[in-house]
Structure 1
Amino acid sequence: MTDPLALSVLGAAALTEGIKFLYGQATELLRRRRERRDEAAALEVEPAEVPELDGELRLPLRADGAVLERVEPDLKELRRKLQDYADGVEEVASDDRGLLESADAVRRLLEAVYGQRITFRGEQRAASGPVVEGGIDVDVVAGYVAAVRARAVTGGATVRASVRANEVAEGAEVIGVDVDRIGG
């Protein structure tokens, strides 16, 4: 769980740009979702302007339609809470706990939809970039299982794996992360 107050370390200008970015991403994503509700293809969004990030987003941003469908009502509600700040009607203050919580909630929903972390420069959290997660929860392993198996994990990606197996048969393998190469 992230701390919404992590955003409070940003200066007013950086926080304002961050909120504008989050609001803009949520708006564009919801607009495209409405326009393409019947299409099975993943939505791609190329941000018009990206604020200074710690790390790098993999562009274009590709939305997971199933995740977006689940979080859409919450994203709509939280996006509305950022509207006046993003439009410059209200002044952004780094000590406004409600604003910070709303902005962080929008960020966490966007991170879930895009499968990437969004971290603004100056925050004390993991860098922006792709997140690879995998998990195994089985009773018996008779062969080979890996929570995450990849040929390469390039810079900026965060990999998380969890494994639970009640029994591993003789000669069987249980692997959390199986990667051929990490880095470029």
Structure 2
Amino acid sequence: MTFLYQRLERLLDRGGVPEPDPEIPAELMGALTLPLQADAGQLAARRQELERLRGELSVYHRGSAPIGLTDTPLLNALGRLRGILEEIYGQRLTFVGEERQESGPFVHQRTERVAGQQTGMDADEVTGAASVLQEIGTVEQGGINIGMRARRIGSSPPS
């Protein structure tokens, strides 16, 4: 709750300014790519929903309502918040005990037509679990679609 709510407040209060050193909880599985960089378009598109979620979750954050593992409205709000944060940051946020891919960068592109060049992910170094999912209708003649191009993928440097 705390980690997700802090991201929510920082996005809304600071307008998506990169977070170079957020406190990462030990319960987060995998490795996030830092700084946490918000996609400005996603943030603008989801701002109203984020404001609503801040309203719903503020009673828990202030301690006015107890946090319980059987509190369905709380769990639903946190699930929606996590999904939005993952889209805005382009990274999965996976906690210990969950049956899903570890935390780390991802790209999900939905494109009807590629006429030039489209690249899902291009990095000098990818640490942790990275993935690209592309849904493409047509790649025109001369068009290029690259899922991932990386100098290194993995969590430890080569020896």
**CA–CA distance in structure 2, aligned partners of residues 183 and 54 of structure 1:** 17
Where is the helix percentage greater, Structure 1 or Structure 2? 1
1:95 pairs with one of 54, 67, 70: 70
Q: How many pairs were matched up? A: 152
For 1:59, give the aligned amino acid.
L
SS of equivalent to 2:29: coil
Alignment of 1:15-34 (within 5 A): 19-33=1-15
Distance in structure 2 (CA, Å) of the matches to 1:77 and 1:135: 27
Amino acid paired to 1:161: Q
| Residue 177 of structure 1 pairs with residue 138 of structure 2 | no
CA deviations over 1:28-54 (Å, ceiling 9, x no partner) = 211112xxxxxxxx6212465322201
Contact residue 146 and residue 178 of structure 1 kept, 8 A: no
Structure 1 residue 103: Cα displacement? 0.6
> How high is the TM-score relative to the length of structure 2?
0.78
AA matched with 1:99: L
Look up the match of 2:157: none
The equivalent of 2:23 in structure 1 is 49
Given that residues 113 and 140 in structure 2 are in contact (C-alpha distance below 8 angstroms), is that contact kept between their aligned partners in structure 1? no
2:132/2:148 contact within 8 Å kept: no
Q: Tell me what 2:127 maps to.
A: 155
CA deviations over 1:67-103 (Å, ceiling 9, x no partner) = 1111111101111211122222322111111111101
Structure 1 length as normaliser, TM-score?
0.68
Listed as ranges, the gaps of 5+ residues in structure 1 are 1-18, 34-41
| Pairs within 5 Å for 1:66-145 | 66-138=41-113
Cα distance change on mapping 1:148 and 1:25 into 2, 3 Å: closer
How has the CA–CA distance of structure 1 residues 47 and 88 changed in structure 2, closer, same or farther, with 3 Å as cutoff? farther
SS in 1 for 2:28: coil
Q: CA RMSD for the aligned pairs?
A: 2.7
Counterpart among 137, 141, 150 of residue 164 in structure 1: 137
Question: Structure 2: where are the runs of 5+ without partners?
Answer: 155-159
Once the two structures are TM-superposed, the CA of residue 136 in structure 1 deviates from its matched residue by: 3.8
